[in-house]
Structure 1
Amino acid sequence: MEVAEKWISRGYPIAVVLRIVGVPRSTYYYRVNQHNTQRKVSGGRPIPGYSYTKQQSIVSDDQIKKWLLQFIENEGFAYGYVKLTVALRKTYGLVINKKKVYRLCKELKILRPQRKKKVNVPKRLAKNRIVTNSNQLWETDLKYGFIAGEQRFFFVLSYIDVYDREIVGYHIGLRCEGKDAARTLQQALWKRKLLNNANKPVIRTDNGPQYTCYTFQEECKKLEIEHERIPCRTPNKNAHIEAFHSILEEECLGHHEFRTYAEAYRAVSEFMYHYNNKRIHSGVRYMTPTEFYEKNRRHECTPLKEIKL
């Protein structure tokens, strides 16, 4: 570039010189314009130190700060700067935008803590599996029940072992959140003496909020458990727990009109015990799920055929 500028300064044609030295014309003119243009840096409009009301009265920033502190004193920190802006407009008729209120709140150090950004949970889709023994794949899902006497719903969350059909853990409650699903999973692993075992079952769920939430994901990570989720609108990939919930509806929930939550809790708990320990299941050689699990564990029965999912 320096060579080109030297010959151009002596009066030679610009196009010819640039073609000889191999410098693009755009590069040359960009450099020339950059040298000749003085950029003006502006500090922006100075802060006026006041605002106007709708009646064109001047209100100082100090007065606005006092009003902000009064709102915080009355409302606590329930108001962020956006709500404080609305409150100033409604109460005092100020013509003020949220950017200025944000600046004033920052000066007063009364800004609410920033919400933590929600972490998107990576979705691991359920893949085809071959189950050949217990504790390889557990399915889980949620079932609703209704308490007629209290006009409210309750929830039943269950974990089923795909191979032996035993309900290894369940939760009954008036609410069901990620922490309830995580706690029930811990209890199921403890029941099967797998809590400290390196080989834990894969957990297959749908895409309900109890399973996609941060709490459940962190629990699976802490327990070193692989959690996979079925694609949307494919309940057939969670067929075993869906079949169990059909049995639960047909043989328990559909036979009762619960008056209280305590009554519902007792009935479902009794059914869970009956299902695991009394009710014979054709899928496990007409034994109860618990009986088959124990005999299979001690190699006292013929193993089932492999289950392809």
Structure 2
Amino acid sequence: MLGKKRLRFTDKQRRRLAAKAKLLGRAVLNQIATIVTPDTLLRCHRQLIAMKWDYSSKRGPGRPRIIQAIRRLVVQFALDNRSWGYTKLQGALAHVGHDISRETIASILRENGIVPAPERSTKTTWKEFLESHWTTIVSADFFTVEVWTWRGLVTMYVLFFMDLATRRVCLGGITTNPNAKWLMQVAKNVTDPFDGFLSGKRYLIIDRDTKYCDAFVHLLERAGTKVVLLPARSPNLNAHAERFVRTIKDECTNRLIFFGDRPVYRAVVQFVEFYNRERFHQGMSNELLTPAPSTANINGQLVCRERLGGLLKYYSRQAA
């Protein structure tokens, strides 16, 4: 007698009992089953059926990755070729060895938020826009500097412009009150037909900062530079300007304490000059933005040019 102890079976015994139980059926089992309940036997039977059709343990380790690779390829083909419909995508995928249906392609694109070809082909991506107009685009942005005055800490706003193709920076202005009148004067300066920074440029990229008033935008566009607004909350689309802000803060303004507005103006002007002429840029093959005459004479005297009390340094050799 087992008493209250639970009788345990091996997997082999469970399979034999389950097979017999299925043949007998629940009604007969209710009359004769004494060791285990009918439900237990039938559940074992269902589990054995499920195990029979479960091939997960036999699946090779590479299969899931192959499926994901195909999905990524579908998305890549659709984004790189916005006029391609499901049939053309299907043909291109078959050409590289992946035979999948139009329905599967449509499902993958829907899951990734990619609209069908007719709608997709009417939209220009930021990447395409930038690549198509790279040499004619300038970006603009503000950053702030805190200054000590007799009234306490005061925020100063710095507006700058950057030529995306060359990375050269132009200081638009510095003020404690970036109102419409001030911005209009900045716009006149940068659109001057003789030496304005925007002369010959077709596009100016700005974010949706409310400081950019309508009058500022209209003046720029009348001068021939179209203003392009960045999508909301998308600083990465103006990455070069954002990087400049980080650079000038890390290498200059965050290392100084300013008393009054004149030191701020001097520091920013000096850094912009350093940035354009004397700083080596990793994103530009570690070269200067404004090439300096190379000195073949390695024996020439080494000269160090300092700015802002030695905060910024540039080294060169004197010609023989």
TM-score w.r.t. structure 2 length?
0.46
Higher relative contact order (CA 8 A, sep 6+): 1
TM-score w.r.t. structure 1 length?
0.48
